[in-house]
Amino acid sequence: MHTCLYLGGARSGKSRLAQTRAEGYADVTLLVTAQALDAEMAQRIAHHQAQRPEHWRVLEAPIQLGDALLSCQAERPQSVILLDCLTLWLSNLLCLEDDERYQLERTKFMYAVTNLRTPLLLVSNEVGLGLIAPTPLGRRFVDEAGRLHQELAGLCDEVIWVAAGLPLWLKPCSAR
């Protein structure tokens, strides 16, 4: 199993690079976490939909990501899983304002990542480089994203920072 974490800012090219890698596999399952809660987000989702191959299997998992990962593996063990994006999933969870649910879903997700036996490509926004958020929820989001990224970076075989569409290997895969 190979795991790769793509980190970068908004519109940095991380999704495109992860998608390009996924296209090298015969079977791709795309797990998406975005929810079209407003017109602008619906446009962003439509942009991503237009950029990916139509034959990919697409599953929506805005909250129960760990369950979705394990389900993908059980249903299609030969498929690479491309997960886009972790920060939207984190935002979905934190907006529930249910700490018990947050801890449960995060634990299930980390369990799935640790126990998955199929290639996994993770995409996430690095949000800790900007100003301090003015609200408690905003600050918690940045803190939780940072913790999640650190834990995943330790588990993943490869971590790639993306800026201006260019990859920088923070943790090169030894098999590369």
Question: Tell me, what's the pLDDT at 89?
Answer: 98
User: What pTM was estimated for this model as a whole?
Assistant: 0.93
pLDDT of residue 176: 46
Residue from 93, 97, 120, 109 nearest 151 by CA: 109
Over the stretch 111-157, which tens digit does the pLDDT of each residue have?
999 999 999 999 999 998 888 889 999 999 999 999 999 999 999 99
Q: What is the pLDDT of residues 72-116, one digit of tens each?
A: 988 888 899 999 999 999 999 999 999 999 999 999 999 999 999
Q: Which entry of 2, 48, 55, 149 is annotated as an active-site residue?
A: 48
Segment 18-38, tens digit of pLDDT: 999 999 999 999 999 988 888
Neighbours of 60 (CB within 10 A): 12
pLDDT at 7 over 90: yes
Tokens of 153: 């970076």
Q: Which two tokens stand for residue 171?
A: 């943790």
Q: Would you call 48 a catalytic residue per the annotation?
A: yes
* Domains, the chain, with CATH or none: 3-162 (3.40.50.300)
Cβ–Cβ under 8 Å, residues 84 and 45:
no
